[in-house]
Amino acid sequence: MHQPTTDLGMAVEAASAPRTKRALAAGADPSAEDGGTTHLNRASFNGKTAIVKLLLAAGASPDAKDSRGYFPLQLAASGDHGATVKALLALGADSSQRGSRGGTSLHAAAAQGFARAARALTTAGADVHALDVHGSPPITFTCIHGHKKTFGILAKAGSDLSARDETGRTLLCHALRSAYDNRVEYWRSEGTIRDTPVAYEIRDGTMHHWRDGDYKWIDAKGERTIADAHCPPHARYLDRCNIAKSLLRSGQDIEVVDGDGYNALLYASRVGLELVVKLLKDGADPSHLSPDGRSFVHYLALHADNVVMYKTYQAMDKLGLSRDTALVDRLHAPDAHGWRPVHYLAHACLEGDRAVKQKVFKGRDRDSVFALRWDGLWRMKAARAHLSTSSSTEAWMGHPAGTTPAAILDQIRDRTMKKVVAKITG
């Protein structure tokens, strides 16, 4: 939106009821556009309920779109202005009106995680089953973006938890897939220590952390609560995992394969051990492979952290999966790159060593560096349990063809890591 130029537009921007009344009494058109949008859209976007009521009383249409295709209820929901949403609905706004991409105002609230707007819309009877141009209902976006509170509101309002979009992806797959994407984005941008009970974050050379679940920023100045829509990245990852757990408890079909060829177990194996074990206990098919020939064990080796990979094999033993020789061979067979899971484990160890040597954590406290080493050491322990596996590999990940896992581990140079490697392999 641009700055308004008319008397009414400036009065609406300033949220001045007296000035707005004077401009309307002087004959200003309440439905006119000013600064790229209508007066009612501007007031709705800013959550100025009193001004919204004045404009509607003067004859502005509650459903009029501006030149860009935006309408009042959509903009009020996009700003989580619950009172404004209620006022618009009470004065005749249509909750089923759609934007340029086919989404309703409830889609807008769900995508942003705005619980007040979502609750106001569902209470007024907004359609929780409405589909956008991609075939997605509003609740899909709460799973994608990790808005746990808004997910609960839509679920209680009767959303279909078995819904799929045009790609065939379920809500469960969306939550798991997005949880992984969020972890990757956070690791790369913030330098977090991964997969710890508390997510550490380095800013301005100071160690901070996010408490799991309660979304409070902890620093030398104390604590302050973070709103659901603006909670930290690691907390958003946890919310996606919690949404996935809720969907599993509701009895969703865990064998659905989406258009990309992945099922819930393959997505979960990129997220964490707890969800993998939960799916295996619930009867998920462990033999399903991705289009590039990777099993869930490949993905655990690629993405799991700390003790996850090591404990995965313990869980497989308890579930009796390790006794199925054919299954074990399938899970550890070479993928499309010719790599077995143990190659990825060994490579991850080497990457951890390189990160220490390249001083990725330069300027950060020694606990950060230790945690990075510890992560690699646990990977070595898991890799050591399967070092007997060796196969020819393609020239990939910077290793020449024919490289074995043991040869990759031999390249480690960090002293601390080499000492533990000697104990593990000795």
In angstroms, the Cα distances linking 169 to 90, 111, 197, 256, 277 are 36, 17, 30, 8, 21
Helices (H), 146-222: 148-156, 171-190
Rounded distance, CA 310 to CA 377, Å? 11
HEC states along 297-339? HHHHHHHCCCCHHHHHHHHHHHCCHHHCHHHHHHHCCCCCCCC
Per-residue tens of pLDDT for the chain, all 426 residues: 688 889 999 999 999 999 999 999 999 999 999 988 999 999 999 999 999 999 999 999 999 999 889 999 999 999 999 999 999 999 999 999 998 888 999 999 999 999 999 999 999 999 999 999 999 999 999 999 889 999 999 999 999 999 999 999 999 999 998 876 555 444 434 433 333 333 333 333 333 333 333 333 333 333 333 334 344 555 567 788 889 999 999 999 999 999 999 999 999 988 777 888 889 989 999 999 999 999 998 888 776 544 566 677 778 888 888 888 888 889 888 888 887 777 776 666 665 555 544 444 444 444 444 444 545 555 555 544 444 333 333 333 455 555 666 666 666 665 655 665 555 444
Does this model's pTM top 0.85? My answer is no
Instruction: Report the pLDDT value the prediction gives residue 376, as an integer from 0 to 100.
Output: 52
Give residue 354's pLDDT.
53
Phi, psi (rounded to 5 degrees) for 144: -65, -40
- Answer for the pair 363, 415: CB distance below 8 angstroms, yes or no: no
Instruction: Please count the other Cβ atoms lying within 10 Å of the Cβ belonging to residue 328.
Output: 15
The pLDDT value recorded for residue 328 is: 83
CB burial string 351-373: b at 16+ within 10 A, e below:
ebbebbeeeebeebeeebbebbb
**Residue 348 in 3-state DSSP?**
helix
Q: For position 189, what pLDDT does the model report? A: 40
- The per-residue pLDDT for 388 is 38
Parallel/antiparallel/unpaired status of strands 216-219 and 206-210: antiparallel
